[in-house]
């Protein structure tokens, strides 16, 4: 083979191998690092993995927000209209966290069924509904909007 | 008179329609001129580009005027402004939402066209005609998109609201006045580079001259992108209220991807200009860079990010941009496929040479961009296929971005100092021994001095930064042959590169330190309470109310002590905006080169206590300082005198020969 072609071939092989292994590594690590979203119903039925970082969300059930007397601990219940899950969090809640609001929490589900959140997200818009939460509401038996109305009172 | 001013929004829309018509003519006439070899038709390109820019600017100014005079008959103004809004924010509200952002986007596109028309005196006429014609095509697509799906001049008639709904409070801030225009300048500036690449493909003239014309434009767009990304990060840091400065949020990723590819393009262009190599690769990068900035626009503007279902519920915009993206990427790749095989790169280089190092740097940058693309699109694809909802955590992005950055920083210094064609690893090694030793020693010293434990991330981050700075400075010293006064003679281009590379190191230092040594505590505090964090003591002095122009806020005064010495008086606020009722956290930050002290308020608790978040973030400023260095470096490189040569400048054989082709 012509030495110039040979060099070009080596270069191309090197690049294909490099890019291939890079993509393989990326995909593998990606599959290890995704955070699944679980609805309260999925958590209630035991579908959600225990002890692995997942995201969970729903509407904050009015009257369930309980703060510790000292410190920043807080517990509240989120619902998708069918099932409920208790979320425990220690820290500062976002500006738009309030009862009836749709929220998404990132954290781990404990053996006792309490979801321990490391982060609570609520978007900066009064009317914004996290898409995951909207879908969870839709999925639950009750109509999503109806649940939203009821939850707001 | 009142009638006329009442019709101003119509004039704005009319100007936009005129701009569309002019752009359509600009797209066709100069190309016809090129095809027929008629110079008088090609000569229309420049005045048409100027006219298009003028109409777009008129349109944008009218929209801004509607905001300033609170013309709530314009639906976009009513949705995004309010009589109580300070005037500066009324003007920045122009680009506070979708419709106005697009108008700004196309206006900037027009202005880049104007700049090309003005600063292309040394370019052959057929090249100018092709470039401006391609920019005209992009303009037509986006002005049409604006008029069809997102007209900012739509009216609320006959029943106009008495009061506007207000600008999103998050956006009522200096950062938002400057961040989007800067970023858009970068995004849109890549269209010039794209147009240059396609024009060169069309004309079959992918040569050193083409690379030299493209370089200053690429650098200009890149400088804006760099500053835009840094401003966005800075804005998020102080405005979102919890001290994060990079979230791997899809919108941020959308700006980082074109930046990475544009950075690769800059370096590939250097090889094409100096050595006539990598030609088709350079063209491909130019296409990728602009396509990614269009993809960014699509991701941000179509609604797919909030949900693929939001896209389905308002498909008009999304489908339109997707079609534009398809035409643009598909068309340019098709042209590339047809024309690129005829382009031969001549010249050889060895495995160890500047060419190879620059190629490696290109590959690393592209792998990084690709990985970010993958992480950004993966959840959308999975969701689209109905396979569930998931998100890719920041941990993954860090996991893949950090090693690539380390490798990249290793290669940067070598690429800058290696010789073209062939070099010797031993030579490179022996000349940088001092930098290597310093890097290892300082890399070891920093974590030990910081907290006495060996942190390999810090070791790596600091080591790599010191290596980059050391090797770069050694190279400057060698090229100046050990004389300080010879440094200015090394050329603006080279010195700009040095500055930019040192900027990369500064950013890496900032990222390493702030990621590893930031400390924070969330505490319940009431009047008189103190809290200690690291070397600092925070005292809750008192709480009060503040009346702003369009908000009321609860504010707390904190005294911050370092030992017994008071170093700052900080006053974070919790604002409630009157018009929308939105709650906003205003953090208070004490800034210094070596650390930021960051205090923000959470929620009010019982008995006048508040949830308070206290943070100390070492070297925070360095993250953005590095970006400033990079931008300054880019600016210096743009000012290099070889980009300002006129047609009659000496030893300019390439341009002389192309000028002959045109007249022939």
Question: pLDDT per residue over B564-578, tens digit each?
Answer: 999 999 999 999 988
Mean pLDDT of B318-337: 89
B141-157 residue pLDDT tens: 999 999 998 899 998 87
Residue B363 is encoded by which pair of tokens?
């590959």
Residue A65, chain B, CB below 8 Å: the answer is no
Chain A residues with CB-CB distance to B400 below 8 A: 26, 29
Say if residue B155 is in the same domain as residue B183.
no
Instruction: Inform me whether the pLDDT recorded for B662 exceeds 50.
Output: no
Give residue B314's pLDDT: 62
Instruction: Inform me whether the pLDDT recorded for B600 exceeds 90.
Output: yes
Instruction: Judge if the upstream peptide bond of residue B117 is cis by omega within 30 degrees of 0.
Output: no
Q: What are phi and psi of A84, to 5 degrees?
A: -130, 155
The answer, as to whether pTM is greater than 0.80, is yes
Residue at a domain's end among B166, B187, B211: B166
Say if residue B136 is in the same domain as residue B223.
no
Decide the pairing of beta strands A102-109 and A84-90. Answer: unpaired
Instruction: Inform me whether the pLDDT recorded for B55 exceeds 90.
Output: yes
Say yes or no for a CB contact (<8 Å) between B388 and A36. Answer: yes
The 3-state DSSP class for residue B116 equals helix
Residue A19, chain B, CB below 8 Å: the answer is yes
Give residue B595's pLDDT: 94
Instruction: Inform me whether the pLDDT recorded for B494 exceeds 70.
Output: yes
Say yes or no for a CB contact (<8 Å) between A33 and B395. Answer: yes
| A117 DSSP β-pair partners | A89, A107
Reported as a pLDDT band with limits 50, 70 and 90, residue B640 is confident
Residue B388, chain A, CB below 8 Å: the answer is yes
Chain B residues with CB-CB distance to A35 below 8 A: 390-393
Residue B385 is encoded by which pair of tokens?
């296929």
Give residue B142's pLDDT: 93
Say if residue B248 is in the same domain as residue B154.
no
Chain B residues with CB-CB distance to A34 below 8 A: 378-379, 390-393, 396
Instruction: Inform me whether the pLDDT recorded for A141 exceeds 60.
Output: no
Say yes or no for a CB contact (<8 Å) between A92 and B613. Answer: yes
Mean pLDDT of B294-310: 70
Chain B residues with CB-CB distance to A71 below 8 A: 524
Residue B578, chain A, CB below 8 Å: the answer is no
Tell me whether residue B446 is in a domain. Answer: no
Say if residue B45 is in the same domain as residue B125.
yes
Chain centroid to Cα B116, Å, comes to 20
Residue B381, chain A, CB below 8 Å: the answer is no
A106-134 residue pLDDT tens: 899 988 889 999 888 875 444 556 667 77
Mean pLDDT of A19-33: 80
Tell me whether residue B185 is in a domain. Answer: yes
Alpha helices by DSSP H, listed for B240-314, are: 250-275, 279-302, 308-313
Mean pLDDT of B20-45: 95
Instruction: Inform me whether the pLDDT recorded for B449 exceeds 70.
Output: yes
User: Smallest CA–CA separation between A120 and chain B, in Å?
Assistant: 13
Distance CA B478, CA B470 (A): 12
Residue A121 is encoded by which pair of tokens?
């997200």
Instruction: Inform me whether the pLDDT recorded for B369 exceeds 70.
Output: yes
Reported as a pLDDT band with limits 50, 70 and 90, residue B306 is low
Residue at a domain's end among B390, B414, B438: B414
Here the ipTM equals 0.77
Tell me whether residue B661 is in a domain. Answer: no
Give residue B664's pLDDT: 32
The set of long-range contacts for B310-317, using a CB threshold of 8 Å and a minimum separation of 24, is B310/A131, B316/B148, B316/B149, B317/B98, B317/B145, B317/B149, B317/B150
Mean residue pLDDT across chain B: 88
Mean pLDDT of B94-101: 88
Mean pLDDT of B85-108: 92
Tell me whether residue B490 is in a domain. Answer: no
Least confident of A25-34, B406-415, B588-597: A25-34
Say how many CA atoms lie within 13 Å of B152 toward its Cβ: 35
Chain A residues with CB-CB distance to B582 below 8 A: 95-96, 124, 126
Say if residue B410 is in the same domain as residue B549.
no
Nearest CA in chain B to A39: B389
Mean pLDDT of B274-280: 87
> Which residues are CB-contacts of A53 (< 8 A; sequence separation ≥ 6)?
A35, A106, A107, A108, A118, B393
- 218-277 in chain B: CB under 8 A from chain A: 241-242
Number of domains within chain B = 3
Nearest CA in chain A to B371: A26
Task: Using only the alpha carbons of chain B, give its radius of gyration.
Answer: 27
B544-561: b (≥16 Cβ within 10 Å) or e? eeeebebbebbbbbbebb
Nearest CA in chain A to B306: A131
Task: Using only the alpha carbons of chain A, give its radius of gyration.
Answer: 22
Say yes or no for a CB contact (<8 Å) between A72 and B522. Answer: yes
Instruction: Inform me whether the pLDDT recorded for B654 exceeds 60.
Output: no
Give residue B207's pLDDT: 86
Residue B92 is encoded by which pair of tokens?
């920045």
Instruction: Inform me whether the pLDDT recorded for A153 exceeds 60.
Output: no
Residue A86 is encoded by which pair of tokens?
């208790």
Nearest CA in chain A to B387: A36
Instruction: Inform me whether the pLDDT recorded for B657 exceeds 50.
Output: no
DSSP B142-175: HHHHHHHH--TT-B--SS--SS-----GGG-SHH
Say if residue B47 is in the same domain as residue B24.
yes
Chain A residues with CB-CB distance to B280 below 8 A: none
B56-79 residue pLDDT tens: 999 999 999 999 999 999 999 999
Look up the domain containing B541 and give its range.
519-620
Tell me whether residue B597 is in a domain. Answer: yes
Distance CA B9, CA B160 (A): 14
**Torsion sign, CA atoms B135, B138, B140, B144:** negative
Least confident of A144-153, B21-30, B249-258, B384-393: A144-153
Give residue B583's pLDDT: 85
Chain B residues with CB-CB distance to A72 below 8 A: 522-524, 602, 611
* DSSP code, position B423: -
Instruction: Inform me whether the pLDDT recorded for B163 exceeds 90.
Output: no
**What is the H or E stretch that residue B18 is in?**
helix B8-36
Tell me whether residue B179 is in a domain. Answer: yes
Tell me whether residue B513 is in a domain. Answer: no
Tell me whether residue B508 is in a domain. Answer: no
Say if residue B127 is in the same domain as residue B260.
no
Nearest of B517, B522, B480, B472 to residue B498 by alpha carbon:
B472
Instruction: Inform me whether the pLDDT recorded for A140 exceeds 90.
Output: no
* DSSP code, position B74: B
Q: What percent of chain B has pLDDT over 70?
A: 94
Say if residue B134 is in the same domain as residue B245.
no
Chain A residues with CB-CB distance to B242 below 8 A: 92
**SS3 for chain A, per residue?**
CCHHHHHHHHHHHHHHHHHHHHHHHHHHHHHHHEEEEECHHHHHCCCCCCCCEEEEEEEECCCCCEECCCCCEEEEEEECCCCEEEEEEECCCCCCCCCCCEEEEEEEECCCCCEEEEEEECCCCCCCCCHHHHHHHHHCCCCHHHHHHHHHC
Give residue A6's pLDDT: 79
Residue A37, chain B, CB below 8 Å: the answer is yes
**What is the H or E stretch that residue B545 is in?**
strand B536-547
Task: For an interface test with A, give the residue of B165, B382, B603 to mutate (most A CBs within 10 A).
Answer: B603
Say if residue B193 is in the same domain as residue B87.
no
Give B287 or A19, the one with higher predicted confidence.
B287
Give residue B167's pLDDT: 85
Mean residue pLDDT across chain A: 80
The set of long-range contacts for B567-576, using a CB threshold of 8 Å and a minimum separation of 24, is B567/B536, B567/B597, B568/B597, B570/B597, B570/B599, B572/B599, B572/B600, B572/B601, B573/B546, B573/B601, B574/B601, B574/B604, B575/B169, B575/B548, B575/B551, B576/B551, B576/B552
Mean pLDDT of A140-148: 52
Reported as a pLDDT band with limits 50, 70 and 90, residue B607 is confident
Least confident of B366-370, B478-482, B611-615: B478-482
Residue at a domain's end among B414, B439, B457: B414
Chain B residues with CB-CB distance to A93 below 8 A: 602-603, 611
* DSSP code, position B95: G
Nearest of B112, B386, B396 to residue B253 by alpha carbon:
B396
B100 within 8 A of B63, measured Cβ to Cβ: yes
Mean pLDDT of B260-277: 93
Give residue B423's pLDDT: 86
Say if residue B193 is in the same domain as residue B308.
yes
Distance CA B485, CA B255 (A): 40
Say if residue B251 is in the same domain as residue B147.
no
Chain A residues with CB-CB distance to B392 below 8 A: 30, 33-35
Nearest CA in chain A to B239: A124
Say if residue B117 is in the same domain as residue B173.
no
Residue A3, chain B, CB below 8 Å: the answer is no
Mean pLDDT of B363-390: 86
Mean pLDDT of B433-449: 91
Instruction: Inform me whether the pLDDT recorded for A67 exceeds 80.
Output: yes
Say yes or no for a CB contact (<8 Å) between B393 and A4. Answer: no
């Amino acid at each position: 083979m012509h030495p110039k072609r040979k060099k070009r071939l080596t270069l191309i092989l090197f690049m294909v191998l490099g890019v291939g292994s890079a993509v393989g590594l990326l995909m593998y690590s990606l599959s290890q690092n995704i955070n699944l979203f679980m609805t309260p119903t999925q958590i209630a039925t035991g579908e959600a993995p225990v002890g692995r970082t997942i995201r969970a969300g729903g509407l904050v059930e009015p009257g369930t927000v309980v703060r510790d007397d000292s410190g920043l601990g807080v517990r509240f219940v989120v619902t998708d209209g069918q099932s409920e899950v208790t979320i425990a969090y220690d820290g500062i809640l976002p500006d738009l966290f309030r009862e009836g609001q749709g929220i998404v929490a990132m954290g781990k589900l404990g053996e006792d069924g309490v979801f321990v959140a490391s982060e609570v997200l609520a978007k900066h818009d009064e009317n914004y509904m996290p898409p995951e939460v909207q879908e969870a509401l839709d999925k639950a038996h009750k109509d999503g909007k109806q649940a939203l109305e009821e939850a707001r009172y | 008179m009142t009638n006329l001013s009442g019709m101003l929004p119509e004039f704005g829309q009319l100007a936009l329609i005129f701009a569309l018509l002019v752009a359509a003519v600009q797209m066709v006439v100069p190309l016809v001129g090129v095809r027929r070899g008629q110079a008088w038709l090609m000569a229309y390109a420049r005045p048409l580009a100027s006219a298009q820019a003028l109409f777009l600017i008129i349109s944008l100014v009218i929209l801004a005027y509607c905001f300033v005079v609170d013309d709530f008959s314009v639906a976009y103004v009513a949705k995004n402004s309010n009589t109580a809004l300070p005037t500066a924010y009324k003007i920045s509200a122009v680009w506070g939402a979708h419709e106005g952002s697009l108008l700004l986007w196309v206006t900037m596109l027009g202005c880049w066209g104007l700049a090309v028309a003005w600063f292309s005196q040394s370019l052959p006429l057929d090249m100018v005609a092709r470039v401006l014609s391609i920019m005209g095509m992009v303009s037509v697509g986006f002005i049409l998109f604006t008029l069809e799906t997102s007209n900012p001049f739509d009216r609320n008639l006959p029943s106009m609201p008495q009061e506007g709904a207000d600008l999103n409070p998050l956006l009522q801030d200096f950062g938002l006045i400057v961040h989007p225009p800067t970023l858009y300048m970068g995004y849109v500036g890549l269209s010039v580079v794209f147009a240059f690449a396609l024009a060169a493909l069309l004309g079959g003239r992918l040569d050193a001259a083409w690379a030299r014309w493209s370089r200053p434009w690429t650098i200009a767009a890149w400088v804006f992108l760099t500053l835009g990304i840094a401003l966005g990060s800075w804005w998020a840091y102080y405005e979102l209220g919890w001290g994060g400065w990079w979230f791997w949020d899809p919108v941020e990723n959308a700006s980082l991807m074109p930046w990475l590819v544009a950075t690769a393009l800059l370096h590939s262009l250097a090889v094409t200009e100096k050595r006539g190599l990598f030609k088709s690769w350079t063209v491909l990068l130019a296409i990728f860079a602009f396509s990614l900035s269009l993809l960014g626009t699509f991701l941000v503007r179509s609604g797919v990010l909030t949900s693929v279902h939001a896209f389905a519920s308002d498909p008009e915009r999304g489908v339109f941009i997707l079609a534009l993206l398809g035409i643009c990427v598909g068309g340019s790749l098709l042209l590339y496929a047809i024309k690129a095989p005829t382009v031969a790169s001549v010249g050889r280089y060895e495995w160890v040479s500047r060419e190879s190092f620059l190629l490696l740097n290109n590959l690393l940058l592209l792998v990084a961009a690709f990985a970010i693309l993958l992480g950004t699109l993966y959840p959308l694809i999975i969701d689209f296929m109905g396979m569930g909802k998931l998100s890719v955590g920041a941990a993954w992005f860090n996991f893949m971005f950090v090693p690539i950055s380390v490798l990249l920083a290793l290669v940067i210094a070598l690429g800058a100092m290696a010789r073209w064609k062939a070099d010797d690893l031993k030579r490179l090694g022996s000349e940088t021994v001092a930098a290597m030793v310093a890097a290892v020693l300082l890399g070891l010293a920093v974590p030990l001095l910081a907290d006495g434990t060996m942190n390999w991330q810090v070791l790596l981050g600091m080591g790599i930064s010191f290596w980059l700075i050391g090797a770069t400075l050694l190279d400057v010293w060698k090229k100046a042959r050990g004389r300080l006064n010879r440094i200015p003679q090394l050329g603006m281009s080279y010195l700009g590169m040095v500055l930019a590379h040192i900027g990369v190191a500064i950013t890496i230092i900032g990222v390493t330190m702030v990621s590893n040594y930031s400390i924070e505590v969330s505490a319940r505090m009431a009047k008189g309470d103190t809290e200690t964090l690291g070397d600092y003591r925070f005292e809750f002095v008192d709480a009060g109310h503040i009346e702003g122009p369009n908000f009321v806020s609860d504010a707390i005064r904190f005294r911050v002590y370092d030992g017994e010495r008071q170093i700052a008086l900080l006053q974070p606020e919790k604002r409630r905006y009157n018009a929308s009722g939105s709650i906003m956290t205003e953090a208070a930050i004490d800034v210094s080169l070596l650390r930021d002290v960051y205090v923000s308020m959470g929620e009010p608790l019982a008995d006048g206590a508040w949830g308070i978040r206290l943070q100390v973030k070492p070297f925070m400023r360095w993250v953005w300082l590095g970006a400033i260095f990079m931008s300054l470096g880019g600016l210096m490189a743009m000012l290099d005198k070889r980009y300002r040569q006129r047609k009659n400048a000496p030893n300019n054989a390439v341009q002389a020969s192309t000028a002959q082709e045109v007249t022939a």
